[in-house]
Structure 1
Amino acid sequence: MSIAPPAPLPGATPVASRALAPDLARGLMLLLIALAHAHMYLSGHEAGFRGYALDGSGLDRLVAGIQILLVDGRALPMFAALFGYGLVQLANRQAATGRSWPEVRKVLRRRSLWLLAFGFCHALLLFFGDILGAYGLIGLVLVGFVRREDRAVLRAAVIGVVLHVVVLFGFGFLTVSAPKGDTPAAIADPLEAIVMRLIGWSGMTPTYFAASVVPAFLFGLWAARRRLLEQPEPRLLSRVAVVGTALALVGGVPLMLIDTRLWAPADLVAVSAYALHSVTGIAGGLAYAAIIGLVAGRTRRGRPGPVVRALVACGQWSLTCYLLQSVIFVAVFAPYAGGLGTRVGDAAASGIAVLTWLVTVLLAALLSGRGRRGPAEAALRRLTYGRR
């Protein structure tokens, strides 16, 4: 009796079969990522907790205040939740082909390991604030929670929130006590900039970024089990959207007042405001995901228009577009390239961020025809699954 050879390891979900809501969310949130990162390439100014210039013009401070309320510390949890959501989708796809949990876990860990490698290269060449490394690290360490029961996942998420607050207090006191200096983006020597980026990345990835990612990542796992983005529950998502947005806005006001120099409290109060801003940002990120889930649910009732299709294409190319943002920012702002980092303020940097995001959306929309994957997505797929 002949034995059939084992089925080939299933690869990534075909682009045409992907759910609308997660990709739409990624496409929109890349705008917030661009806004949150652009001002981090500026230098020559004393900066506040979130990196905005304290001596900026009135327009700069207005833009900084809006972004502190709506963008900073809100986009990162949103992407972390989507990362956890996608990990469950990937695990379910693998398990549906009959693979055992050890085989599925091996694929998830291999993908996370390569994400960590992508993050290292991103920090090495472009940006000290890389978040891919944190996602890869969390995927490696917490992959077992993909199978854990809901109660264990939610309990771990609550513990993650507590640890997040503790870590934020530590970084907050370092911020107020350390001498104010420029980030690695200000270094004119490319080799020195590489060294400083790696030092910053290696220290912040397992601490600050990981602490920021864990709670939202676990909430994303929980949501994926209920397919809340593919099969929205309007009542639940509406509650998350309203409550999460309110918490994020209220929790962001104290730090917004501090970083725009409208309020100058004692250090302990300022650090507490910094931690409050960040922890309520988790609620804000989940609220953004819920809002997009509701919008996508309505969009599915009809044929998506060209704008939605372009945003979805950007979401499908999210890894490529995220890296391309850094390439453009280095070319525009770095002192060894365009050099605008010392000549513009926060408002101009945000304008450049919006234009950069629009370029990536148009590029993805034009090049993603017929299910074509982005270059970075194709590379990660090949490294994860091998040749098919």
Structure 2
Amino acid sequence: MTSQAGPTGLTERALGPDLARGFMLLFIALANSHYFVNGPSIFGGFPTDGSVVDRAVAFLIATFVDGRSFPMFGVLFGYGVAQIVRRQREAGKEWRPIRKLLRRRSLVLVVLGFLHAMLLYVGDILAAYGVLLFLGVWALRWKDRWLFIVAAFMLVLSSLPSGDSLSTATDPVDPSMLPQNLLDQYADRIVVQPFIALLGPIGFIAPFLIGLWAGRRRVLEHPAEHRTLLWSTAIIGITVAVVGALPVSLVVGGVIGRPSDHTLSIIGPLHDSSGVLGGFGYAALIVLIGMRLSDRQGRGTLAIAAVGQRSLTCYLAQSVVWTVVFTPYLLDLSDTLSTTTTALLAIVTWLATVLLAERMRRAGYRGPFEILIRKFTYQPSTAATRSRSSGRRA
């Protein structure tokens, strides 16, 4: 006989992973902000015609944020999947119903991501994670060594020279991101969004698999037992990320001129692949900080953790801001705001989600989109369990 395992209750959640998710959304906001600034750019979205302050801000974002936040998201996503699997197995579930549960979750992410991209932000990552989860279900029963082998292979593959880094755009931002009207928005995005959803998972495979491994070992939930591993990961991962980012950051910051196409094809992938290790390092560092704060959780710590507990709602809230502020048929501030002011907008937006999440925490409210995804993930199993129980009683 099996029991029904639902989502982890808010009071049962470990501080470290939620704190990491909360800070992660600040990094994601900063990473997305500069893509809305109109004008010439390099590396697919870093403006090149700003002031000295703008270039300094771009340097910091390229070094510490861009290409580092989404890998951290991937690690935490894989970790969360491992938590779901563990809870289901502890409740006595077999692999087949667990796979069905996760594929329902992946379907919800794909549908929600599609709507998100069409209505708000074309750079959606939810659908990509839905596709990743649908395919990643096959990795749940892999041995640890295969998780590492495949993750290492994908990391090496992403480090190879690529022409994707050669673009130096002189035109305004992609029209699918900043459409002139609703009709153009839907027409452009219906073409672009499937490519993002289907190709996006490629860059997240390595973080996802490492997250699965860490979730099996409960590394982020019990940091005291894995202190050496976490400190090593934090120091090595962040160091590699910073060093690997510098060639791109120096170009973006205007410290050095645009190098040759051959050089760009090397330093672009190096920036991205080193960022994967940076994502690991950031997650480890924040969890270690959470461990130090676990016995004296102040209001700020609880509020940021509340963002992590409602990361889906807060992520979508960011997109509402981007849509209202930058869309040409709304406020249309892409030509007005600079790299610096969009970064400030990103920080203010994140702080607003912190306040919003804290109010939800005090009210004991999980968050609208967290409730939605859990309803569709777990309710069918709950209904089936109740039906079987009623049949046995009859």
TM-score by length of 2: 0.92
RMSD over equivalenced CA pairs, Å: 1.7
Counterpart selection for 1:321 from 314, 320, 326: 314
Is 2:4 the partner of 1:13? no
1:61-80 mapped onto 2 (5 Å cutoff): 61-80=55-74
Cα contact 1:35–1:353 (8 A) shared by 2: yes
Of stretches 138-147 and 314-323 in structure 1, the one that deviates more from structure 2 is 138-147
**3-state DSSP class of the match of 2:49?**
coil
Pick the aligned partner of 2:299 from 306, 320, 324: 306
1:351 maps onto 2:322 in alignment? no
1:210 and 2:201 aligned: yes
Give CA deviations for 1:310-352 in whole Å, capped at 9, x if unaligned: 0011111100000000001111121111111121111000000
Distance 2:37 2:170 in 1: 17
Within 5 A, what are the aligned runs for 1:92-131?
92-131=86-125
**Structure 1, gaps ≥5 residues long:** 1-5
Q: Tell whether 2:28 aligns with 1:33.
A: yes
Alignment partners' CA distance in 2, 1:199 and 1:171: 20
- Map of 1:264-275 to 2, 5 A cutoff? 264-275=258-269
1:22 is matched with which residue? 17
SS in 1 for 2:334: helix
Q: Give the secondary-structure state (helix, strand or coil) at the position aligned to 2:142.
A: coil
Deviation at 1:385, TM superposition (A): 1.4
Aligned residue for 1:341, secondary structure, equals coil
Could you say if the C-alpha distance between residues 50 and 241 of structure 1 is closer, same or farther in structure 2, counting changes exceeding 3 Å?
A: farther
Q: In 2, distance between residues paired with 1:47 and 1:196? A: 21
Match of 1:3 in 2: none
Deviations 1:54-102 (A, max 9, x none): 1111111111110000000000000000000000000101111111011
1:223 match: 214
CA contact (8 A) 1:14 1:371 kept: no
Q: 1:113-192 counterparts in 2 under 5 A?
A: 113-166=107-160, 169-173=162-166, 175=167, 180-183=171-174, 184-192=176-184
Distance between the aligned counterparts of 1:172 and 1:141, measured in 2? 28
Greater mean deviation of Cα atoms: 314-323 or 185-194: 185-194
* Partner in structure 1 of residue 355 of structure 2: 362
**Partner of 1:371 in structure 2?**
364
For residue 118 of structure 2, what is the amino acid of its counterpart?
Answer: L
Letter in 2 for 1:192: D
Kept in 2, the 8 Å contact 1:163–1:211? The answer is: no
Q: Which amino acid aligns with 2:132?
A: I
**TM-score, normalized by length of structure 1?**
0.93
SS in 1 for 2:45: coil
Q: Could you give the per-residue CA deviations for residues 131-181 of structure 1, whole angstroms, max 9, x where no partner exists?
A: 111111111001121221100110110121133235x714224x35x8755
Tell me the residue number matched to 2:52. 58
Which amino acid in 2 is paired with 1:63? V
Percent of residue pairs bearing the same amino acid type: 40
CA-to-aligned-CA distance 1:155-209 (integer Å, 9 cap, x gap): 110121133235x714224x35x875522233211221233233222223322x2
Contact 1:228/1:293, CA 8 A, preserved across alignment:
no
Q: Which amino acid aligns with 2:311?
A: S
Q: For the residues of structure 1 that align with 2:210 and 2:2, how far apart are their CA atoms? A: 33
What is the rounded CA distance, in whole Å, between the counterparts of 2:123 and 2:347 in structure 1?
A: 19
SS of match in other structure, 1:368: helix
**Segments of 4+ in structure 1 off by > 3 A?**
6-9, 178-181
